[in-house]
Amino acid sequence: MSWNTFGRVLRFTTWGESHGPALGAVVDGCPPGLALSEADIQPFLDARRPGQSKFTTQRQEADQVRILSGVFDARTTGTPISLMIENTDQRSKDYSEIAQAYRPGHADYAYDAKYGIRDYRGGGRSSARETAARVAAGAVARLVVPEVTITAYVREIGGDAIDPAAFDPQEIGRNPFFCPDPAAAARWEPLVDTARLAGSSLGAVVECVATGVPAGWGAPIYAKLDADLAAAMMGINAVKAVEIGDGFAAARLSGEQNADEMRPGEAGGSAPQFLANHAGGIAGGIATGQPVVVRVGFKPTSSILTPQRSITSEGAATDVRTKGRHDPCVGIRGTPVVAAMMALVLADHKLLHRAQLG
């Protein structure tokens, strides 16, 4: 089944192919009265936009967003917000080869196996270009959760991780890697450049932290906040792994080590001060009031210059090398997408929470 809507009460639907005339998102359920213009969305699209450094694809897209509905007198009206981004740099000729052969690691074969037809230009609907629509929708979602601060950054590229002790949030915007550790950013420059020049690619781990999420958001049993975050992140192109809090490392701790002990909170009442956050801010699917911490593993870009063994759509053996313009490390530009999905999940859960709790 084709399924292009996400969310339960704050819902968004995306549409569009890599090389069609445009792509977009329809955001439904947004509260009315929020100040919203293209200028609130564009910076987030700009952060994801290709062609801004040599470490990302050289496709040139302005990624200018237009608001087509749902806003009146510069405020949201509560009706659906239609967002559209035109495709301007499509170069269909670059992609002629993949019409015939399945690129390993891409969804070419899977789409054909499912649908028997695919728009092969630039990967069509399976292109990471679809995530531009999510980023636009995420910018709207952020306005719904002004109490929350979302920070996303690359934690690791090609196995080379940041030093958590050197974490500096100001640094994230100062380098082309969304890297919070200047020393790591310096190391990544030759690392990524070498992969780029070799026509190879690297994986990455992206971390996203949301602070200010009130205790109580979330939803047992089958819409747990962590389950919804896992779906949101795993659905991003090239993502293969998701952790909450300590994640897999928690599987190697004892119960004593993993405990998030509590002391009375400074504000009084029953809100505790937690002495640790192994849980990543979520217990039983519900936010505890601690920072919500998610870690996301991106595989290396599947498009590489080295010829790979594959087959044609008729089943004949062939070799494939992808010559187009590609990201040497797709996790970099995935970072604003991770942040957008965090905003979208939290905004949905805020509204769900007040539906039941008032």
Interacting residues with its own copies between 88 and 117 (CB under 8 A) = 102, 104-107, 109-117
CB of 170 to its own copies, least distance (A): 25
Q: Which residue, 170 or 358, is less far from its own copies as judged by CB?
A: 358
One residue of 42, 52, 79, 149 binding its own copies per CB under 8 A: 79
Which of the stretches 54-62, 164-172, 178-186, 348-356 binds its own copies when contact is defined by CB under 8 A?
Answer: 348-356
Taking the complex as a whole, how short is the minimal distance between the CB of residue 155 and its own copies, in angstroms? Answer: 10
In the set 298, 334, 337, 343, which binds its own copies (CB under 8 A)?
A: 298
Of residues 208-247, which lie at the interface with its own copies (CB under 8 A)? 215-224, 226-235, 237, 240-247
Out of 203, 291, 334, 336, the residue judged to bind its own copies by CB under 8 A: 203
CA angle (357 as vertex; 353, 358 as ends), nearest 5: 100
Residue 128 makes contact with its own copies by CB under 8 A: no
DSSP states along 12-53: EEEEE-TTSSEEEEEEESPPTT-B--HHHHHHHHHHH-SSSS
- The Cα 274–Cα 261 span in angstroms is 6
DSSP state of 271: P
Q: Could you count the other beta carbons within 10 Å of the beta carbon of residue 268?
A: 7
Asked if 253 is part of the footprint of its own copies (rule: CB under 8 A), the reply reads: yes
Nearer to its own copies, 71 or 139 (CB): 71
Residue selected from 37, 89, 265, 323 as contacting its own copies according to rule CB under 8 A: 265
CA distance 45 to 145: 19
Q: Which of 80, 176, 182, 324 binds its own copies (CB under 8 A)?
A: 80
Cβ proximity of 333 and 327 under 8 Å: yes
> Which CB, 44 or 217, lies closer to its own copies?
217
User: Residue 248: CA atoms inside 13 Å, Cβ hemisphere, count?
Assistant: 5
CA–CA separation, 171 and 179 (whole Å) = 7
Question: Given the rule CB under 8 A, which of 44-52, 88-96, 175-183, 300-308 is the region that contacts its own copies?
Answer: 300-308
SS3 243: strand
3-state secondary structure (DSSP) of residue 187 = helix
DSSP 8-state symbol, 280: T
Specify the stretch interacting with its own copies by CB under 8 A; choose among 37-45, 48-56, 122-130, 135-143: 122-130
Closest distance to its own copies from the beta carbon of 171 (Å): 21
Interface residue with its own copies among 272, 277, 324, 325 (CB under 8 A) is 272
Cα gap 177→187, rounded to integer Å: 11
Residues 141-160 that bind its own copies (CB under 8 A): 156, 158-159
Angle at 133 between CA 300 and CA 50, to 5 degrees: 50
Phi, psi of 161 (to 5 degrees): -100, 160
Smallest gap from residue 49 Cβ to its own copies (A)? 20
Binding mask 35-64 for its own copies (x = CB under 8 A): ------------------------------
Residue of 58, 62, 64, 271 interacting with its own copies (CB under 8 A): 271
Q: Measured from the CB atom, is 165 or 357 closer to its own copies?
A: 357
Please answer whether residues 330 and 298 qualify as being in contact, where contact means their C-beta atoms are separated by less than 8 angstroms: yes
Complex with its own copies: residue 39 or 221, whichever CB lies closer = 221
Shortest Å distance, C-beta 202 to its own copies: 7
State how far the Cα of 99 lies from the Cα of 335, in Å rounded to an integer.
Answer: 30
Long-range contacts made by residues 176-185, C-beta under 8 angstroms, separation at least 24? 176/52, 176/53, 176/55, 176/56, 176/332, 177/55, 177/332, 178/152, 178/153, 178/154, 178/206, 178/332, 178/335, 178/336, 179/153, 179/154, 180/153, 184/160
Segment near its own copies (CB under 8 A), from 36-44, 46-54, 178-186, 200-208? 200-208
